């Protein structure tokens, strides 16, 4: 490895500090500008190689937390675990490598103005990363700006659009240095300044009404979670944590698969809980495994009051007030080529790794008259799916998870940051309940209202505001991001055409 490849690797690796829990939002602007400087004299082939090493650093450091679950639950030799991760990192690194290759190829064909094609090229390759082979959109650059002013662009252009804005600023700084010109630097300054004004143009408005919500964190060890002898004990833990708050809260939320006894084998117990909740005039949303028609579904169900004053629908197995996870986690919830892979190692035969998919778009959950758009664990990272499920009358986003697999690593903090970005994009408060953290309530601007401590059994109570109005991202999706990227690309094309004419 030569020095420039090592520099690309280190630049990519440094991006881990831009995401939670480190949250150095300025870092991507510096890193991308330095990357452009590093590649200023490179060929397309060299740009591909450097982009690949940049990606290895980016994903290797940013996703290093995956090793925790493979090491503890995968049953593989450490060298085999590292080899699997290297394959994943190498695959993900192809996307930035292709993006930088396309930029340099265009530059060698058409001149320096081709650099303005890079934002639309990056948007294209990142869209492919979020879709190909079911998609893995983790660590998009835009997430690094969740707590910064640039993050407010997400309400207009989505997290992918924020990535475009980050690239535009980096390119402007680079071109300002390259041309010794203030005009590109002025563009970077304008993009930064506009971000501070964006909240003033928001069409969101609080109604003045709030709902009291309780999130319950059971802190059940992953090693015993699926032990049949533990089923009743886990349920009892959640009931004991929740019952003292029945009469004082409108909505209670338990995490992903908090009820480990699958439906319908526990429907009689759930029916009793439903009656207790109705008597207390409250509602409960819980994760559970649904077994129906010889298929398993990772699900959320609502018990108790689904309407403001009296229940519209009593609980029974198969009732309509439920959500089945659509975007399944590879290996963890479904195993591709399972007949080949499952016999190889425990990693490919984890408990509950044969789920079926729910529909892409499903009705909101109903709880005490409120409508909640659901996403289970990993699928909160798919903004287009969450947006497709949000309705004009949706009151809250709700996501449940079990990040116990990843211990005290930075994985759960990144997951929380991703969930918060959905609130900014869609302009709705978010309720997030997890088994051992991070459990939190987030307002419509992505700011945490309350958070429970990690790694303890806890309850979190919060008054959550109701919001009306919609964001441009909800109305238009990624269209605005594509328009901005394409407009910048067109400006680059004009520059390339002008250069050709002058030759």
Q: Which residue has the tokens 């990357």?
A: 35
Task: Write out the two tokens for 149.
Answer: 């002013």
Q: Are 263 and 286 in contact (CB under 8 A)?
A: no
Task: Write out the two tokens for 35.
Answer: 């990357």
Candidate list 256, 263, 333, 444, residue with the active-site label: 256
Write b or e for each residue in 335-359: b if 16 or more Cβ atoms lie within 10 A of its Cβ, otherwise e.
beeeeeebeebebbbbeebebbbbe
Task: Write out the two tokens for 313.
Answer: 């629908």
Candidate list 225, 368, 377, 379, residue with the active-site label: 377
Candidate list 263, 325, 333, 425, residue with the active-site label: 325
Active site residue 377: yes
Active site residue 240: no
Identify each DSSP E strand in 21-176 by its residue range.
none
Q: Are 412 and 448 in contact (CB under 8 A)?
A: no
Active site residue 256: yes
Task: Identify which of 327, 450, 329 has the alpha carbon closest to the alpha carbon of residue 383.
Answer: 327
SS3 state of residue 201: helix
Task: Write out the two tokens for 456.
Answer: 């303890």
DSSP letter (8 states) at residue 356 = P
From the number of C-beta atoms within 10 Å of its C-beta (0-12, 13-18, 19+), residue 173 rates as buried
Helices 78-110, 479-502: axis angle to 10 degrees equals: 50
Backbone angles phi, psi at 218, to 5 degrees: -80, -25
Q: Which residue has the tokens 């530059």?
A: 107
The catalytic residue positions are 256, 325, 377
């Amino acid at each position: 490895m030569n020095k420039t490849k090592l520099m690309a690797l280190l630049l990519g690796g440094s991006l881990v500090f831009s995401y939670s829990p480190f949250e150095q939002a300025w870092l991507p602007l510096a890193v991308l500008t330095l990357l452009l400087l590093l590649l200023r004299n490179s060929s397309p082939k060299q740009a591909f190689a450097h982009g690949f090493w940049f990606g290895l650093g980016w994903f290797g450091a940013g996703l290093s937390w995956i090793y925790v679950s493979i090491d503890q639950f995968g049953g593989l030799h450490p060298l085999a675990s590292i080899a699997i991760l290297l394959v994943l990192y190498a695959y993900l690194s192809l996307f930035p490598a292709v993006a930088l290759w396309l930029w340099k190829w265009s530059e060698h064909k058409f001149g320096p103005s081709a650099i303005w094609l890079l934002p639309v090229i990056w948007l294209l390759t990142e869209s492919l990363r979020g879709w190909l082979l079911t998609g893995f959109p983790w660590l998009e650059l835009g997430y690094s700006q969740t707590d910064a002013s640039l993050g407010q662009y997400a309400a207009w252009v989505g997290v992918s659009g924020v990535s475009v804005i980050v690239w535009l600023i980096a390119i402007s700084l680079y071109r300002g240095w390259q041309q010794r010109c203030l005009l590109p630097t002025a563009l970077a300054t304008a993009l930064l300044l506009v971000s501070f004004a964006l909240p003033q143009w928001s069409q969101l408005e609080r109604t003045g009404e709030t709902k009291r919500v309780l999130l319950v964190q059971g802190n059940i060890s992953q090693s015993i979670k699926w032990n049949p002898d533990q089923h009743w004990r886990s349920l009892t833990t959640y009931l004991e944590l929740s019952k003292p708050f029945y009469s004082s809260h409108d909505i209670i939320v338990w995490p992903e698969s908090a009820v480990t006894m699958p439906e319908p084998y526990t429907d009689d117990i759930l029916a009793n809980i439903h009656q207790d909740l109705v008597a207390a005039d409250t509602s409960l949303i819980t994760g559970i495994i649904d077994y129906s028609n010889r298929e398993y579904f990772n699900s959320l169900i609502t018990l108790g009051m689904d309407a403001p004053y009296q229940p519209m629908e009593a609980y029974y197995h198969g009732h309509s007030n439920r959500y089945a996870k659509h975007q399944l986690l590879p290996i963890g919830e479904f195993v591709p080529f399972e007949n080949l892979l499952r016999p190889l190692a425990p990693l490919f035969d984890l408990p509950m790794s044969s789920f079926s998919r729910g529909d892409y778009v499903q009705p909101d959950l109903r709880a005490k008259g409120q409508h909640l758009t659901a996403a289970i664990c990993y699928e909160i990272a798919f903004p287009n799916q969450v947006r497709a499920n949000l309705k004009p009358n949706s009151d809250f986003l709700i996501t449940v998870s079990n990040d116990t697999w990843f211990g005290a690593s930075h994985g759960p903090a990144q997951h929380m940051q991703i969930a918060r970005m959905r609130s900014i994009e869609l302009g709705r408060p978010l309720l997030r309940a997890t088994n051992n953290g991070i459990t939190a309530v987030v307002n419509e601007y992505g700011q945490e209202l309350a958070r429970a401590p990690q790694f303890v059994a806890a309850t979190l109570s919060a008054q959550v505001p109701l919001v009306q109005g919609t964001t441009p991202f909800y109305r238009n999706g990624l269209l605005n991001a594509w328009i901005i990227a394409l407009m910048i690309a067109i400006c680059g094309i004009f520059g390339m055409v002008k250069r050709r004419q002058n030759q």
